[in-house]
């Protein structure tokens, strides 16, 4: 009898030593991507009645469930020493995409570029994009050229005609020189701009123009970027967003990223430099 009492006491002590802290039963329909504090932890399934998480550290946590074509749900929970359950309701379909904004219309205006032409000697005839211009000043400005590649030619009596292909990035002012002495066409300057990234959440990783930057402050600034079109990729654990952006000459490109905004997560705008900076 005494031996049975000790065995029973040992069993109770063993059971008491087991901790169920950090167990979360998430009840939801199958096929949902489940995130814990912005990190993907699994996909819900019928076998687990959703998804079961174990050994989650105590404290305040955020559960987020996502499915393509539906509005995600986020639930704040508090992990203590006892198991908990989280019930996820039906997800709502994403709203219809909104019509284009004025900011998008302004971006369309930047599909052309400008060309500044110099030459050695000064006076000559310049042909580009079906236009013939007589150059009799130190600089010739040709505006409103479609973005892309163009064939340009320089001609002058007594010299060999020069011909070559130049690239006009959208919204950029390109400077070229026809050098009759060296028999070549030189691209001298394509302009520079800067980039400012704002994000929600604050911390993220930014990749653009062959560079990678960790954003840890409210604003990430990158300066002296050659003008042109670039792909920008902004990522947080478990998710990333990408967008085509324009770096314009003497302008700051502002990229605002909001990972919680499913309709318009990235907004791009441009502002001119003030006082040339």
Total number of residues shown for the chain: 277
- The dotted CATH code for 2-87 is 2.60.40.10
- Looking only at the bridges linking them, the beta strands covering 266-272 and 251-258 are antiparallel
For the ranges 110-114, 157-161, 246-250, 267-271, the lowest mean pLDDT is seen at 110-114
What pTM, to 2 d.p., does this model score?
Answer: 0.44
pLDDT band at 226 (very low <50, low <70, confident <90, very high): confident
Token digits of residue 254: 């502002």
Query: Where in the chain are the domains?
Result: 2-87, 109-189, 191-272
Residue 122 near residue 135 (C-beta atoms within 8 A): yes
- The dotted CATH code for 109-189 is 2.60.40.10
Express each pLDDT in 36-89 by its tens digit. 999 999 999 999 999 999 888 888 999 999 998 899 999 999 988 788 999 998
* C-alpha to C-alpha distances, 2 to 5, 6, 7, 14, 275, nearest whole angstrom: 5, 6, 9, 18, 92
pLDDT at 15: 43
Per CATH, 109-189 and 191-272 having the same topology is answered yes
Give the whole-angstrom CA distance, residue 231 versus residue 92: 31
Q: Which fold has domain 191-272?
A: Immunoglobulin-like (2.60.40)
Token digits of residue 241: 């967003």
Q: Within 10 Å of residue 187's Cβ, how many Cβ atoms?
A: 12
Give the whole-angstrom CA distance, residue 36 versus residue 68: 18
Q: How high is the mean pLDDT of the chain? A: 85
């Amino acid at each position: 009898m005494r031996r049975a009492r000790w065995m029973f006491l040992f069993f109770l002590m063993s059971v008491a030593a087991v901790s169920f802290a950090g167990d979360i039963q998430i009840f939801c329909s199958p096929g949902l991507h489940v995130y814990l504090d912005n990190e993907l932890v699994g996909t819900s399934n019928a076998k687990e009645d959703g998804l079961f998480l174990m050994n989650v550290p105590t404290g305040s946590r955020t559960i987020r469930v996502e499915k393509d074509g539906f509005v995600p749900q986020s639930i704040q929970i508090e992990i203590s020493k006892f198991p908990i359950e989280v019930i996820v309701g039906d997800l709502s379909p994403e709203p219809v995409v909104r019509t284009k904004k004025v900011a998008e219309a302004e971006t369309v205006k930047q599909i052309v570029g400008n060309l500044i032409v110099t030459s050695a000697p000064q006076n000559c005839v310049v042909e580009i994009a079906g236009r013939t211009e007589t150059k009799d000043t130190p600089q010739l400005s040709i505006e409103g050229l479609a973005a892309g590649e163009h064939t340009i030619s320089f001609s002058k009596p007594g010299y060999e005609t020069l011909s070559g292909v130049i690239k006009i990035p959208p919204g950029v002012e390109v400077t070229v020189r026809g050098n009759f002495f060296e028999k070549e066409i030189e691209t001298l300057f394509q302009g520079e701009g800067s980039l400012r990234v704002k994000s929600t959440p604050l911390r993220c990783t930014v990749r653009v123009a062959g560079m990678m930057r960790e954003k840890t402050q409210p604003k990430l600034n990158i300066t002296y970027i050659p003008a042109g079109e670039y792909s920008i990729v902004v990522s947080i654990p478990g998710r990333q967003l990408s967008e085509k952006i324009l770096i314009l000459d003497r302008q700051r490109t502002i990229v605002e990223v909001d990972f919680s905004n499913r309709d318009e997560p990235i907004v791009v705008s441009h502002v001119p430099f003030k006082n040339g900076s």
